[in-house]
Amino acid sequence: MDTTPDTVKDAQNPPLSVSLLNLDDITEHESPNAFNCSAPDVVFQELPHHISLAFTIHGCPFACAGCHSEHTWDAESGNALTDDAFLAYLSQYQGLISAVVFLGGEWNRQALTNKLKLAKAQGLTTCLYTGGNHVARSLRAHLDFVKLGPWIETLGGLDSTITNQRFIELKDGELWQDRTHWFQQNASSSSQQNMLQNSSQNNLHTTQTLNTFTHQQGVSYASA
């Protein structure tokens, strides 16, 4: 008999159907053009098969217990990512990246939509990491991938086989394919490599813990 609490089952099985993001009550400071972010990083793991420029947007309202990016919760911290600043970054990395990843920012829907449109216009693949289980239709229209779900320490990130989080490929603005297994395959492969390395070093008791990602709540992007 399955004794898993319903709350855990719900978290492990977020609905794949989508509805409007339930953050309407916290968008009173929404600016159509800018939100604040940290300096972007070139990342390889957050969106498999791509070299991405990742923007950590400040002001996350989800307040997950155990968040590794609590220092970014203040929306006034960081620097304004205006459209001009965003375009300057894309120009700086032109030819070096194939995608942009936004770690948060969905609470400022218009500003994020504008950035996604600018990235798409340059032929870049787009990805959003959100702590919510839903993404607004207006955002989905400009996204190729989305990571859904809050950080729940007992369930782990995308590399965990019991994670509540899902990494979804979108098609024509709708959730299309669950690609979470991409991260779990990487985790398995990396774990084997680590075990081999440790074995060769005659250090069988300290199998290196995989440094894979979970959203901003433990993501292994360069500045974390």
Q: Within the chain, what is the greatest distance between any pair of CA atoms?
A: 58
Q: Which residue is nearest to ligand SF4 (CB)?
A: 131
Q: Is 199 exposed, middle or buried (0-12, 13-18, 19+ CB in 10 A)?
A: exposed
Query: Residue 40 interacts with ligand SF4 (CB under 6 A)?
Result: no
Residue 162: CB partners within 8 Å, gap ≥ 6?
Answer: 12, 155, 156
Closer residue to ligand SF4, CB minimum distance, 145 or 151: 151
Structure tokens at 34: 């800018």
Report in angstroms how near the CB of residue 149 gets to ligand SF4 at its nearest.
9
Is the CB of residue 146 less than 8 Å from the CB of residue 16? Answer: no
Compute the distance between CA of residue 169 and CA of residue 175 in angstroms, rounded to an integer.
6
Mask of contacts with ligand SF4, 60-99, x by CB under 6 A?
A: x-xxx--x-x------------------------------
Is the CB of residue 60 less than 8 Å from the CB of residue 73? Answer: yes
Is the CB of residue 143 less than 8 Å from the CB of residue 114? Answer: no
Query: Residue 157 interacts with ligand SF4 (CB under 6 A)?
Result: no
- Count of Cβ atoms closer than 10 Å to residue 125 Cβ: 18
Query: Residue 57 interacts with ligand SF4 (CB under 6 A)?
Result: no
Residue located via tokens 């399955």: 2
Closer residue to ligand SF4, CB minimum distance, 57 or 90: 57
Structure tokens at 115: 């950035």
Closer residue to ligand SF4, CB minimum distance, 164 or 216: 216
Closer residue to ligand SF4, CB minimum distance, 152 or 175: 152
Closer residue to ligand SF4, CB minimum distance, 99 or 149: 149
Site residues for ligand SF4, window 126-145 (CB under 6 A)? 131
Residue from the set 116, 215, 221, 224 that interacts with ligand SF4 by CB under 6 A: 215
Contacting residues toward ligand SF4, per CB under 6 A:
60, 62-64, 67, 69, 104, 131, 150-151, 215-217
